[in-house]
Amino acid sequence: MWDVVRPKSIQEKLDEAEQAQADKVAAQERKLWKGAEKALKKGVDNAALGAIVSMGTEPADFERKGQKLYLRTGASSANLHGLVLGGSGAGKTETLKRLAAIFASQTDYDIFFIDPKPTADLKFYFAGLMAEYGRTCKMYPDSPFNGFRGDARSVHNRLLTIPVLGTEGASAYYAELTEEYVWLGMNAGDGLPRTFDEVAQRLDYDYLLQYYANDPTSLQSIQRIKRQDANSVVMRFNNVARKFSTISGAGWAFEDVRAAYFGLPVLEASRDVDAIARFLIEDLKHYFATRKQRNRRTVVFFDEFSAFGSENVVNLMELVRSHGGIVILASQTTAALGDDRLQKRILGNVTIYLQRMNDPREVAALGGMQPVLDVSRHMDTKPNPNGIARYVDKSVIDPTKVAQLPLGGAYIINRGRVAHIKVQQAPVLDWNKIGTTHLDLALQWMSANNPNAPVLVRRASPAVPHAAAAARPLAPARTEPTPALAHGAPTKAATPSNAPNQADGADDFI
């Protein structure tokens, strides 16, 4: 009771004032977030990345129109490399899907998606999205993939990703021997091998002794490797051949297609899947450097990319930059990017889409600092209501707020500039409209025969040949209303916006 009448101490008054200020800011933030949600609901626009919650200085490679934010897909590809960072369930995959929808609807880029956690849902979604925009998406492992294109040197490099080769001491010596052994084996036949089976057969020790019987130099090289070491290499290729029979010279290669989805469950931690992931990245490097037509541009998405070996992916990213390619990565933590050196190589070269994560301090700091007015008050025995005001530097992105971001919230950090947005959910597909013209037959087959696959094709009859599956009509895959997908023109140069924007004039960056 006494508390009610007791005069408040100066400290209590200050605490209350601070609390009131924090409540005011929180209410303003909620209002801005609701405004962004409303803007997204108002008009589905497949060119937009999301709606602006608040914005400091406009990020260079983005443009704002009204309350929506657009990626300038015409920017130099070097500026379009991206990294989506966020904790589990923060919305990373959804952001990748949205970016894929932007590239599909606004550009002529070829689009590849590499997925370490393949699910039927994502597989079908991605294929449907590509089909919606006229790209037939080839599916790995459902359709045979040709990983054997290129000259002997490049196929050799790729094959060497399969056995695990050491780089130090005795294992370095062993690696050198294996390298030579695989080279000689690979070339011991008519032309280059076209399957892992064929590679394993050519690497058989006795076969090689016989094949090079009249070539003393090569024979000597073969004999320098012990039979049991040779056998272990052969075994690796045999295992890979058994599990990855859909990689063969008869299939499609990157340069043959406009879109592709790779389901490579590397997170299941199988040595063979890891090896295939390395093989695939090596093949991608060769595709970018040598096989890709100069005038074609390609964007590659890697979800949870550290699962593929961060260094491999970063090397790929640095290589594709000079070959008209873009790499967009997703990761749960900064630690997963690799050691300090690797983190710097990545963070210094990408647009960051920072979503909810527990410890974002390091990344948040990349959004730069801004001077904010800090008022400190004297707490003498005699209350002094006058404080001292001074400017202090504070991180533009408040790490606490990143840790509390709602689903789909993201800070975009692009060349030191920041925008806070709500990412627009990836477009809902209308399978009736998509039709079968641009659907990989393997996918139609799966839909008809796999109870876990979305229903693209009526499952009226059981096992049907591909052609019959293709001929049957499509049923809608989802029940929710399907807003028409806008095939709008690419976004133009930034226009001064006179549309209402709740962030306008707000100095506080929230």
Ligand X SMILES: Nc1ncnc2c1ncn2[C@@H]1O[C@H](COP(=O)(O)OP(=O)(O)OP(=O)(O)O)[C@@H](O)[C@H]1O
Residues in contact with ligand X by CB under 6 A are 86, 88-94, 332, 407-408, 423, 425
262 beta partners: 114, 140
91 contact choice in ligand X, Mg ion, none (CB below 5 to 8 Å, kind-dependent)? ligand X
261 beta partners: 113, 139
Please report how close the Cβ of residue 89 comes to ligand X at its closest, in angstroms: 4
The first and second tokens of residue 452, run together, are 């876990």
CB distance 53 to 510 below 8 Å:
yes
Contacting range for Mg ion; rule: CB under 5 A; set: 61-69, 85-93, 332-340, 459-467:
85-93
DSSP H or E segment with residue 50: strand 48-55
Q: Which is nearer to Mg ion, 155 or 330 (CB)?
A: 330
Please report how close the Cβ of residue 102 comes to ligand X at its closest, in angstroms: 13
86 contact choice in ligand X, Mg ion, none (CB below 5 to 8 Å, kind-dependent)? ligand X
CA distance 185 to 342: 35
Q: Which is nearer to ligand X, 312 or 355 (CB)?
A: 355
Strand pairing report for 417-423 and 48-55: antiparallel
Please report how close the Cβ of residue 304 comes to ligand X at its closest, in angstroms: 7
Please report how close the Cβ of residue 370 comes to ligand X at its closest, in angstroms: 26
In this structure, what DSSP letter does residue 348 have?
T
Please report how close the Cβ of residue 422 comes to ligand X at its closest, in angstroms: 6
408 contact choice in ligand X, Mg ion, none (CB below 5 to 8 Å, kind-dependent)? ligand X
Specify the length of the chain in residues.
510
If DSSP codes are grouped into helix, strand and coil, which group holds residue 73? coil
If DSSP codes are grouped into helix, strand and coil, which group holds residue 52? strand
Q: Which is nearer to ligand X, 90 or 114 (CB)?
A: 90
Q: Which is nearer to Mg ion, 46 or 93 (CB)?
A: 93
111 beta partners: 259, 299
Q: Which is nearer to Mg ion, 72 or 92 (CB)?
A: 92
Q: Which is nearer to ligand X, 412 or 464 (CB)?
A: 412
CA distance 214 to 219: 8
If DSSP codes are grouped into helix, strand and coil, which group holds residue 456? coil
Burial of 319 (0-12, 13-18, 19+ CB in 10 A): middle
Per-residue x/- mask for Mg ion, residues 43 to 82, rule CB under 5 A? ----------------------------------------
Q: Which is nearer to ligand X, 61 or 94 (CB)?
A: 94
Please report how close the Cβ of residue 113 comes to ligand X at its closest, in angstroms: 13
438 contact choice in ligand X, Mg ion, none (CB below 5 to 8 Å, kind-dependent)? none
The angle formed by the CA atoms of residues 309, 312 and 316, to the nearest 5 degrees, is 140
Q: Which is nearer to ligand X, 282 or 304 (CB)?
A: 304
CA distance 348 to 353: 13
Per-residue x/- mask for Mg ion, residues 176 to 215, rule CB under 5 A? ----------------------------------------
The first and second tokens of residue 271, run together, are 């040595």
56 contact choice in Mg ion, ligand X, none (CB below 5 to 8 Å, kind-dependent)? none
Please report how close the Cβ of residue 178 comes to ligand X at its closest, in angstroms: 36
CB distance 477 to 128 below 8 Å:
yes
The distance in angstroms from the start CA to the end CA of the chain is: 40
In sequence order, the 6+-apart residues with CB closer than 8 A to the CB of 269 are none
284 contact choice in Mg ion, ligand X, none (CB below 5 to 8 Å, kind-dependent)? none
If DSSP codes are grouped into helix, strand and coil, which group holds residue 89? coil
Subset of residues 86 to 125 that bind Mg ion, contact rule: CB under 5 A = 92-93
Please report how close the Cβ of residue 332 comes to ligand X at its closest, in angstroms: 6
Q: Which is nearer to Mg ion, 160 or 277 (CB)?
A: 277
Please report how close the Cβ of residue 114 comes to ligand X at its closest, in angstroms: 14
Nearest residue to Mg ion on Cβ basis = 93
The first and second tokens of residue 325, run together, are 């390619």
Please report how close the Cβ of residue 302 comes to Mg ion at its closest, in angstroms: 12
Query: Which residue type is seen at 171?
Result: S
90 contact choice in Mg ion, ligand X, none (CB below 5 to 8 Å, kind-dependent)? ligand X
In sequence order, the 6+-apart residues with CB closer than 8 A to the CB of 296 are 110, 324
Q: Which is nearer to ligand X, 23 or 121 (CB)?
A: 121
Cβ atoms < 10 Å from Cβ of 58: 16
Residues that bind Mg ion (CB under 5 A): 92-93
